[in-house]
A and B are shown apart, each in its own frame.
Chain A
């Protein structure tokens, strides 16, 4: 069972890193960004297409990162220009609309749902454990998720800009009225998360044989991880993401469960939401 669990480590690292990006976006610009993985897919497929057209890997990666960053910046520009003062549900609905638009455009540009060959940024095995090979990509992704969580925690709690961002996420207009350059700070958040998401997906994409839609849909397990951290704790999100990956790995080893393992994030999301509502249900029952 341990062997099977380890096979899910790469996926777990991806969920953790994308989950941390989702929490970062939610905590700082108060948006549950359903289009988060899709902008990463923009960066990844920009890299893939440029590389397949003959560009060397390093500049292709750089341009891909830039493309993902710009795509995220555009999503952020829409959100902070027209929806900065909207409620959370409206913002989430707008990002769902953007996700649909990005998937449609992405599938058109990248040639539909046929899987693409993605060059490996970190090829090879890091180590073997009980005959299970743990890839370098899995280790790098988990390391990145932990580094991002440490960086975000320190940044928010120890720096003045972090303090301003915490204020901005609570009351954008009040923050603006106190002289905080809210648009500039929001734009920086969107750009950073766009770059981080693109990098994450570039690293793990070879393990998924992806098309644009499968990468965009990784936002679902990422949200499951973020929910385990209540969209606040970076550390619980990292643990939740890796745990979800390990669980999927274990599920793949069970014949009766294997074909349903893709639904595990959904089950976890529902379970966490129900758990979160237990107090309200108890009050209602009384």
Chain B
């Protein structure tokens, strides 16, 4: 059984369809990468799965249980964690307090510090005073101590140094290896494909590719075509940004 199934998900914003009948399936212990041009609907799809925005159609199933009608906090308590874009730390709370509010009743915040030992000396520092990389580590650690079964991660590399991105990517892999199902939205397409197991490409709100990461990793021109549309020379259905090849991703 899949950890999470999204089937025929349609999401409207301001009355216009942003995600159209998208379906994907996440397996425990596996990283699924969600790629697409800017404006393709990646963030909206994640928000629909976690309940930030309502679905106009389709279903979301978490370990066999329908959750599309549940509030976000109920989905979170069932084991769905959503790491939002933009390092959403609670700036006025300390690192430790940020972890405490998320900590599962059977868990410990020390598990968060084990995942990112860099945060330990900063445990009593207000999260707003942490560096960008530390804040992203804190957000990841916070999601981890909530003991999720499914982890949705939206653009965690935004504005971070390449070294930090590599560090975070390694942790994502480690979390999946511990049994979590991960759905990763990432601007560094090649790096994400190198880390992930399964890839989905979203174009104009539709899933146009669902397959192994390796098949896209080894054929960047195929990824370009998927972004642009088969046979099309332009109009990717969003604010187009070419997927960055691996060698441009990081030093």
B-contacting residues of A (Cβ < 8 Å)? Answer: 160, 163-164, 166-167, 170-171, 173-183
By a CB distance below 8 angstroms, the chain B residues around A179 are 73, 76-77, 102, 146
By a CB distance below 8 angstroms, the chain B residues around A173 are 52, 72, 84
Q: CB of B71 within 8 A of chain A?
A: yes
By a CB distance below 8 angstroms, the chain B residues around A174 are 84, 88, 90
Between-chain CB contacts (< 8 Å), 21 pairs: A160-B100, A163-B97, A164-B101, A166-B90, A166-B93, A167-B90, A167-B93, A167-B98, A171-B88, A173-B72, A174-B88, A174-B90, A177-B84, A178-B146, A179-B73, A179-B76, A179-B77, A179-B102, A180-B101, A182-B73, A183-B71
Q: Sort A-B residue pairs by CB-CB distance and give the 4 closest, nearest first.
A: A179-B76, A174-B88, A179-B77, A176-B72
By a CB distance below 8 angstroms, the chain B residues around A183 are 71
| Partner pick for B90 among A170, A176, A177, CB 8 A cutoff | A170
A163–B90 CA distance with the chains assembled, in angstroms: 11
What's the minimum C-beta distance from A81 to chain B, rounded to whole angstroms? 12
What's the minimum C-beta distance from B54 to chain A, rounded to whole angstroms? 13
By a CB distance below 8 angstroms, the chain B residues around A180 are 73, 101
Cβ contact within 8 Å between B84 and A178: no
Given A163-B97, A167-B101, A177 contacting B92 (CB threshold 8 A): no
Q: CB of B65 within 8 A of chain A?
A: no
**Chain B 149-161 interface 0/1 with A at a Cβ cutoff of 8 Å (1 = within):** 0000000000000
Cβ contact within 8 Å between B91 and A170: yes
What's the minimum C-beta distance from A109 to chain B, rounded to whole angstroms? 36
Interface size of B by CB at 8 A reads: 23
By a CB distance below 8 angstroms, the chain B residues around A181 are 73
What's the minimum C-beta distance from B233 to chain A, rounded to whole angstroms? 39
Q: With a 10 A CB-CB cut-off, give which of A176, A177, A183 has the most chain B CB atoms.
A: A177
Cβ contact within 8 Å between B93 and A176: no
By a CB distance below 8 angstroms, the chain B residues around A177 are 50-52, 72-73, 76, 81-82, 84
By a CB distance below 8 angstroms, the chain B residues around A175 are 90, 101
Q: CB of B206 within 8 A of chain A?
A: no
Nearest A-chain residue to B74, judged by Cβ: A179
A-contacting residues of B (Cβ < 8 Å)? Answer: 50-52, 71-73, 76-77, 81-82, 84, 88, 90-93, 97-98, 100-102, 142, 146
Interface on chain A toward B: helix, strand, loop, or mixed SS?
helix
What's the minimum C-beta distance from B23 to chain A, rounded to whole angstroms? 23
A160–B142 CA distance with the chains assembled, in angstroms: 16
Nearest A-chain residue to B139, judged by Cβ: A174
Known contacts A164-B101, A171-B88, then 17 further A-B pairs from the complex at CB < 8 Å, ordered by chain A residue: A160-B100, A166-B93, A166-B97, A167-B93, A167-B97, A167-B98, A170-B90, A170-B91, A176-B76, A177-B72, A177-B73, A178-B73, A178-B101, A179-B73, A180-B73, A182-B73, A183-B71
A160–B71 CA distance with the chains assembled, in angstroms: 22
A176–B72 CA distance with the chains assembled, in angstroms: 6
| Partner pick for A166 among B71, B76, B88, B92, CB 8 A cutoff | B92
What's the minimum C-beta distance from A28 to chain B, rounded to whole angstroms? 12
Nearest B-chain residue to A169, judged by Cβ: B92
A183–B90 CA distance with the chains assembled, in angstroms: 18
By a CB distance below 8 angstroms, the chain A residues around B93 are 163, 166-167, 170
What's the minimum C-beta distance from B140 to chain A, rounded to whole angstroms? 13
What's the minimum C-beta distance from A237 to chain B, rounded to whole angstroms? 18
A16–B60 CA distance with the chains assembled, in angstroms: 50
A180–B73 CA distance with the chains assembled, in angstroms: 6
